[in-house]
Structures are given as structure tokens and as C-alpha cells.
Chains A and B, each alone.
Chain A
Amino acid sequence: MSSPLPKSPASAALTLRNVTKRFEGAAGRVTALEDISLDVREGEFLVVVGPSGCGKSTLLGLLAGLEHSDEGTIQLGDEPVLSPGRDRLVMFQQDALFPWLNALENVLFGLRLKPGLTDAERLESARYYLNLVGLGNKEKARPHELSGGMRQRVALARSLAPNPRVLLMDEPFSALDALTREQLYGDIQEIFTKRKKTIVLVTHNIREAVCLGDRVVLFSPNPGRVQQVFDVDLPRPRRMNDPALANLAAEVTTALSAHLAADKQ
């Protein structure tokens, strides 16, 4: 089921060409990402998966515009990505909700920065997305009064509310317990199918990657590189205990082990 990279599809939302990123660390210069070329299609759920240290979070930082590449270009549509922007909202590993605001105000935070809306429209939109993630009755709750899963749901609503072109997710499920995680997988797939959003998720969890992605891009570390791309054409909504999904996950795991073993030699 693996396929080569498409050269340059017309309908790409995000285009990466020969992106390289290095860091100056205590142990000298580290290449986090090397020569990454990748396209994220419009309306696609793309998952970048790899072990820790493969630069996948760095990749997301670059896509968000929070960091800058040393070489290569990143484009959103026809525009180069140079700085953070409302068109690419991020869900972080920790929820990053502001503790001094309640759930509704947190969702409103991004909406208030979006021009061209009346306050009534912003409020309506915030309530719509809180409802969408199943927290319509928690408007007034402060983040500390919510469970970890609820907080990530608020964070999801906050990222979706300003209607970004691309939603970037940086391991947003990794700090949650397994049950909550599975619920959120369901929610995300439902929202993805309903809203036709372009999503880029990075994770180290291969099962999760296969469960959520239309395509799974396997990264290998030292330096971070694209090793292989897998198409996942299982019907949605997918469930984690689906045997077909488990088979595909095993295939990805085998590929990863092979690449890691090859790197060691």
C-alpha cells in the first residue's frame, strides 16, 4: 500500500520543498529535518509518524510559522509561510488553554482576533464549536475544572472556531488516557468528515496514525527524513480495534524497524 511522493498536485494546501532545519545545541549542530519535500492536499488528513527525535514536532513548528527553515520553502496555497497565522491553527500536546479564561472565553480568544465578524457572530460561532466537541454545557468552566480530555476538546474547538485553512495537531492525544483518546479519535473523525478540514497531525503512535490519516508519512530520525508514505483507504469512522487497521499498523511498524536497523549499520 506504499506509494511514491506525488510530484506536485494541483490541489495542494501545503507544499514543502527541500526543507532543512538545523539547531545549534550544546553538542554542536544538529540537523532536525533534512531535505523534506511533501504535499498536503486540500481536505486531506495527513499524519506524520515517527519515533521521538525524528523532527516531527519541528516540522509542525515550521508549518505553523513559529520556526523558520534553514533551507527550502513552505507554501500555503501560493503564499510562502513566514510567520504564524490564523489560517494555520495549532493544537498542542498540552492543551495550552489560558487558565484565566473560561471555556467559552478561550474559544473566543482566536475569534476575537478575526476581523470582519460582529461580536454576536463570534459568540454564536464559539458556542457552535463548543457544542460540536460536546461541551456546550461547560461554557463557564475554567480549564482546571475540566478533565484532560475535556480540555483538549476545548482546545480543538478553539482551533476550529476561526475556521483555519489547515489544522495542525502536535501529538494532542499523547497526554490522555486510552479511553478518552479513543473517544477523541471518534470526535475528530466525525468533525473531519463533516467539516472537510485539512489536517496535519504528528504523533509517535502508529496505530493512532493509521486510525486517523488518509495518508501516513513515516519519518526516521537523525536527521529527520521522509522514509515512506502509506495510503490508508479504510472506510471511516475507523475504530482502533479493527483488524484491518491493526494489519496496516503492523506494516508501518515493520517498515520503521527496518529503517532504524538500516540506520544503525
Chain B
Amino acid sequence: MKLPRFVIPTFIALAVLGGWEWFVRAGHVNDVLVPAPSHILQWFWWALFDRASFESGHYLVALQKGELLPATWVTMRRLIIGFAIGAAIGIPLGALCARVRWVRDTIGVLALGLQTLPSVCWVPLALLWFGIREEAVLFVVVMGTLWAVVIAVQESVLNVPPLYLRAAQTMGSNGWHLWSRVIFPAALPGVLSGMKQGWAFAWRSLMAAEIFVVIVTGFGLGSLLNAGRELLRMDQVMGVMAVVMLVGLLADLVFFAPLERWLRRSRGLER
């Protein structure tokens, strides 16, 4: 008999969570520092639904403002807008880097350098340039996304098989036609994985920005996490971490994974 694929992972996850719960309850660690899974679940319930206890002041100290869903929404909006701007600039810029050698030798090299720079390093500058405003956060997110996308697009365009280009050129394709009908479709798998990487970088930079700077224009997940730290509510810290992971997984599940699967299948790369 063959078990469905989800059975074993579920069992292992339950075992780990159960062990963790027992470990905390048995008093082996300070439950202020390491909350039990059941406490985190409780926090979730409260942060999502339980306005009553919020009003009664039970959790007032833990969550200064707002709730989990609005905070998630604030963060998601920043993430999506920042990512979209980063990709919209990064894709043409990466193509230009691939096409023009001196652009590659300048912006391409700069992109390599800036990609290794954690984008939270931009926070001080962003705050000075834009003030404590939404634009400052967006700027940091764009800086996180942009360079990864530029490099990925540049590489995947440079790796388009020359044979495709030669074949297309003999058939009279050149200029914009060559770009839109041959180079871009051929580079698409690489561009997509670059976008995926850009998305991951966008997440990282946004969390860093939100943790380091309390932006008065919106209270995001990062701010929520930081509030948990300041108030020593580790259930909140871990709860927010779980949300961040869940959103990341969800984005992959509903957006990137289906796109990649479609690409692989239509080109016969799927096993």
C-alpha cells in the first residue's frame, strides 16, 4: 500500500510540534523566550479575530496598533508595488546590459556589486531622501529587487542559443521583432527565475526596512514583529515569522510555481 505523499511530512511536523510543546511545558526552557506552539496559535487566533480581548486590554501591550490582517495587507501592498517597480525597471535594464557592452561593463558590474549589498543599507539614505514616508520603504524594496532582476535578465539574454538568433536572422527577423519574438521568449525561463529571486530579495529588504524603521504611514508585519520584540512577546515574534513564511510559500504556490510548470511543460522540460 502506498501512502499519500502528505502523510509522512504531516506526521513529522506534528511530532516536532508536539515535542516542542512538551519541552516548553515540562519547563526545560523559559516560556517567555521560547513560547509553546499552542501559545503561538492562541496569539494567531487573537490577532486575527479576537477584538474583544484587544479591547479588554488583555493583549493591549503586545499589539500597539491594528491587527494581523491589516498589517499583512500593508506589507503585501508595499511588497507588490516595490517588486513591480523593480521588475519594470530591471527587465529593460537587464536587456540593455546584455545588448550593449559598455552598459554591461558599467551598470552590469554595478548591479553585481549592489546585489551583494544588503538593501537595508539603503535605509539611512532613503530616510534622508524621502523622509519618514511610504516612498522610503518602497525605495528600499526596489533596491532589493532591481539588481537581482537586472543580473538574471542579462544572463538569460546572453545565454540565448546563438543558433536561434542565426535562424531568425536568416528568416529576416531583426530589431524589435528579434527581441520580442525570439530573444525574450527564449530567455523567459531565466527571466522568470530572476523574478523569483527578486521577489525573495524584495521580501528580505522589506522586512529589514520595517523592523528598523517604524514608518508612521503604515504598520506592517515587520513593525509588528519588532513591537513583539520590544514587549518581549515572543509568541508575536514567532507568529509574524510564520506569517512571513506562509505568504512566501503562498506566492510561490499561486504565482511562480504554476508559471514555471507551464513553461516547462510547453517546452518539454518536465520529466
Contacts and interface: CB of A to CB of B under 8 A. Distances in A.
Interface of A: 64-66, 84-86, 88-90, 92, 94, 96, 98-100, 109-110, 113-114, 142-145, 158, 162
Given A110-B172, A113-B173, A114-B172, A99 B167 contact: no
Given A90-B166, A92-B166, A98-B182, A143 B171 contact: no
Given A92-B163, A98-B185, A113-B177, A144 B268 contact: yes
A88 B167 CA distance: 11
Contacts of A84: 166, 169-170, 172
Interface residues of B, number: 20
Contacts of A113: 171-173, 177
Contacts of B181: 109
Contacts of A100: 185-186, 188, 266-267
A86 B185 contact: no
Given A96-B163, A113-B177, A90 B172 contact: no
Contacts of A162: 171
B164 A98 contact: yes
A64 B268 CA distance: 30
23 contacts: A65-B170, A66-B166, A66-B169, A84-B169, A85-B172, A88-B170, A90-B170, A92-B167, A96-B163, A96-B164, A96-B167, A98-B182, A99-B268, A100-B188, A100-B267, A109-B168, A110-B172, A114-B172, A142-B266, A142-B268, A143-B268, A158-B171, A162-B171
Nearest to A155: B167
A90 B268 contact: no
Interface of B: 163-164, 166-173, 177, 181-182, 185-186, 188, 266-269
A64 B170 contact: yes
Nearest to B263: A100
Determine which residue in A84, A89, A143, A162 has the highest number of CB atoms from chain B within 10 A of its CB, and name it.
A84
Nearest to B188: A100
A148 to B, nearest CB: 13
Nearest to A162: B171
Contacts of B188: 100
A109 B171 contact: yes
A144 B267 CA distance: 7
A84 B164 CA distance: 14
B168 to A, nearest CB: 7
Contacts of B185: 98, 100
A99 B181 CA distance: 12
A96 B167 CA distance: 7
Determine which residue in B168, B182, B186, B269 has the highest number of CB atoms from chain A within 10 A of its CB, and name it.
B168
Nearest to A67: B166
A106 B64 CA distance: 61
Q: Across the A-B interface, give the 5 residue pairs with the lowest CB-CB distance, nearest first.
A: A144-B268, A110-B171, A96-B167, A113-B172, A84-B169
Given A109-B171, A113-B173, 17 more contacts: A64-B170, A84-B169, A84-B172, A86-B170, A86-B171, A86-B172, A89-B170, A89-B171, A90-B167, A96-B163, A96-B164, A99-B267, A100-B185, A100-B266, A113-B171, A143-B268, A162-B171
A100 B269 CA distance: 12
A6 B166 CA distance: 32
Contacts of B166: 64, 66, 84, 90, 92, 96
A101 to B, nearest CB: 8
Contacts of B164: 96, 98
Contacts of B269: 144
A85 B166 CA distance: 11
A89 B163 CA distance: 13
A144 B271 CA distance: 12
A144 B266 CA distance: 9
A186 B169 CA distance: 29
A162 B173 CA distance: 13
Nearest to A111: B171
A88 B186 CA distance: 24
A113 B167 CA distance: 13
Contacts of A90: 166-167, 170
Nearest to A158: B171
B170 A66 contact: yes
A78 to B, nearest CB: 20
Contact of B268 (A92, A94, A110, A145): A145
Contacts of B163: 92, 94, 96
A87 to B, nearest CB: 10
Contacts of A89: 170-171
A148 B74 CA distance: 53
Contacts of B268: 99, 142-145
Contacts of A145: 268
Contacts of B172: 84-86, 110, 113-114
